[in-house]
Amino acid sequence: MLDAAGPVFSDDIQSRIWAVAAWMLKVDGVAETVPGMNNLMIVFDPLAIPPGEVEQQLLHIWKTVVPDAVSGRDVDIPVVYGGPDGEDLAALADNAGLTVEEVVRRHSEAVYSVAAVGAMPGFVYLSGLDPQLAMPRRAVPRMKVKVGSVIIGGAQAGIMPCTAPSGWHIIGKTKVPLFDPLRDPPCACKPGDRIRFRVIEVQP
Amino acid sequence: MIEILSTGAVNSVQDLGRTGYLDAGVGRSGMMDAPALEIANLLVGNDEGAAGIEVALFPFRLRFETDTVFAVAGADCPAKLDDRQVPDWWVMNAKAGEVLTLGLPRAGARAVIAFQGGIDVPLVLGSRSTDLKSVFGGFEGRGLHRGDRLALGGTSRRMSRMEGGYGADVSVLRAPAAAEDEAIVLRVLPSAEYAVFTGEARSKFHETDWLITNDANRMGYRLSGPELTLTRKLELLSHGIMPGTVQVPPNGQPIIQLAEANTCGGYPKIANVIEADLWKLAQSPVGARLRFELTDRDTAVAALRQQRTFMAALAADAALMRGWN
């Protein structure tokens, strides 16, 4: 595990994390790399490469790597905001001291970066949320948040890739499938991709 | 074909798990007692990674629809093929129509059944394992139900027809099960936040016999014992975690992540159970007690090497046995 995190999440550090992850995959004995938020987990076979050597390689690449300037793709996510499938939109607007229209404008005008994919299959950790739209997670998580729900938790934006428990706030819904195990790669988005939410409709 | 006659919903088709998709949020899954599957597979003449059945809820019964070579491994559970005793870690030949019954384990928690040819379910993301949490892989993405019929893969390898003549001695890999009032000892390496726990918390972590609570499944086990506290409040960004990672959430009670662990988490980590000891967790039932013994990297690697050497020797033996027939 390489932990490069400072007090707040940094997009520059994250670009470096992605680049190091790609390089480390080329090292013999390294099986998988798992970028987190400003950190990186390396999964390796200790019988194929000694742990100390993985450490050395990791630090060397961390110091010398040059992150790719342009890598990710642009992904368009059409969203129906509010209504029955965006039940927390009004509450989030209240919390932010903004109108619903302003919340939708700010949420859909931002460009988000897929920092990492993880926790559950196809779940994207997005950076780039307007800080004013941040809202602490629900004290009691909902047991079922529907697939395609467009959500905000703390200072992060997200999309539910499957129906699962979540304590994040639901502001809308998309029909874009984010995860399909029968597809390879199974995820619609990769770290480094840029996501834009496009307004289809705002429902009361 | 085999037909499931009685089962619990957590019994499932598993192989050695899914690799290469952690960065897509797809966890390992796979047999909790992976070495038991490897051994049982080698005994029946399969590659070590063929898919078998993990049985965690008993009694479990299945009927063989065709003559089938199989082996039962893992937990020490009373097993019968019709009226015949089925020893653990032993190759058996079932005739069409015979019924295999696994009873409640005398020791351990999970039995593994391997079949010659392996369970033939589609590969999903490179594995036949069921991901129960995410509902894909294995048999229709779910645990087994009564009446399910599973196909077995074909095999070109001829197996020994010596009735009950071939098995594995696993005593070098597995000490006899601990007595019921004895804690199961797991070797751990310190994790990233080990030093942020108070000295008292670290001592308690290693000295306590931790109880496995009812909240224990393929995702992980929640443990109960003294509260483990940090020297300062920690807000961690989400980071990768693996089966064996021991996290401590704000209530101070550890959680051990297991086969179906999420790929990322945010709680402070106190330790990691070494890979060579993960099978012991598969064989630790609810209500059992666990002790965490600090070890070092060299010991962890040596333990893994011993396991692999055992498998290589068993594979060579199995090839010899096939050669004799």
B31: left (phi over 0), alpha (psi -120 to 50) or beta: beta
Choose among B131, B236, B238: nearest Cβ to A116: B238
Which of B193, B242, B264 would best serve as a mutation to test chain A binding (most A beta carbons within 10 A)? B264
Closest partner residue to A32 among B19, B135, B136, by Cβ? B19
> How many Å lie between the alpha carbon of B198 and the closest alpha carbon of chain A?
21
How many CB atoms lie under 10 A from the CB of residue A196?
15
Q: How far apart are CA A151 and CA A88, in angstroms?
A: 9
Q: pLDDT tens for residues B87-121? A: 999 999 999 999 999 999 999 999 999 999 999 99
Cis amide leading into B59 (omega within 30) = yes
Place B325 in a pLDDT band, splitting at 50, 70 and 90: very low
Mean per-residue pLDDT over chain A, rounded:
93
Judged by CB atoms closer than 8 Å, whether chains meet at B25 and A182 is answered as no
Interface of A with B (CB under 8 A): 1, 3, 5, 9, 21, 31-41, 43, 46-47, 50-51, 116-123, 125, 161-162, 179, 181-182, 184-187, 191
Q: Determine whether the interchain pair A121/B237 forms a contact, defined as Cβ–Cβ distance below 8 Å.
A: no
B237 pLDDT above the threshold of 70: yes
pLDDT band at A129 (very low <50, low <70, confident <90, very high): very high
Q: Which of A1-5, B95-99, B123-127 has the lowest mean pLDDT?
A: A1-5
CB < 8 Å from A in window 232-291 of B: 236-242, 262-265
- Find the range with the poorest average confidence among A38-52, A84-98, B136-150, B166-180: B166-180
Query: Which H, E and C letters describe chain A, residue by residue?
Result: CEECCCCCCCHHHHHHHHHHHHHHCCCCCEEEEEECCCEEEEEECCCCCCHHHHHHHHHHHHHHCCCCCCCCCEEEEEEEEECCCCCCHHHHHHHHCCCHHHHHHHHHHCCEEEEEECCCCCCEEEECCCHHHCECCCCCCEEEECCCEEEEEECEEEECCCCEEECCEEEEECCCCCECCCCCCCECCCCCCEEEEEEEEEEC
CA distance to partner chain A, nearest, from residue B226 (Å): 25
Q: What pLDDT is stored for residue B323 in this prediction?
A: 65
Give percent helix, percent strand, percent coil of chain B, each to the nearest 5: 20, 30, 50
Judged by average pLDDT, the poorest of B155-169, B198-212, B234-248 is B155-169
- Closest CA in chain A for residue B122: A182
Q: Which pLDDT tens digit goes with each residue over B5-52? A: 999 989 999 999 999 999 999 999 999 999 999 999 999 999 999 999
Tokens of B138: 């294995």
Residue A57: CA count within 13 A, CB half-sphere: 19
The answer on pLDDT for B318 being more than 90 is: no
Regarding an ipTM greater than 0.85, the answer is: yes
Q: What is the mean pLDDT of residues B146-159?
A: 82
Query: Do the Cβ atoms of B260 and B219 come closer than 8 Å?
Result: yes
**Quick check: B300 and A181 CB within 8 A?**
no
The answer to whether B150 and B119 have CB atoms below 8 angstroms apart is yes
Map out the domains of chain B as residue ranges: 2-175+310-323, 184-294
Q: For a pLDDT cut of 70, what percent of chain B falls above it?
A: 94
Q: What mean pLDDT do residues B284-309 have? A: 96
> What integer pLDDT is reported at residue B164 of this predicted model?
54
- What's at A20, amino acid-wise? V
CA distances from A91 to A80, A88, A94, A160 (A): 17, 5, 5, 19
A97 pLDDT above the threshold of 90:
yes
| Set of chain B residues whose Cβ sits within 8 Å of the Cβ of A38 | 237
pLDDT classification of A2: cutoffs 50, 70, 90? confident
CATH topology for the B184-294 domain: Cyclophilin (2.40.100)
Q: Which residues contact B39 (CB under 8 A, 6 or more apart)?
A: B73, B89, B168, B170, B311, B314
Residue-range domains of chain A with CATH: 2-64 (3.30.1360.40), 74-203 (2.40.100.10)
CA pair distance B268, B247, nearest whole angstrom: 6
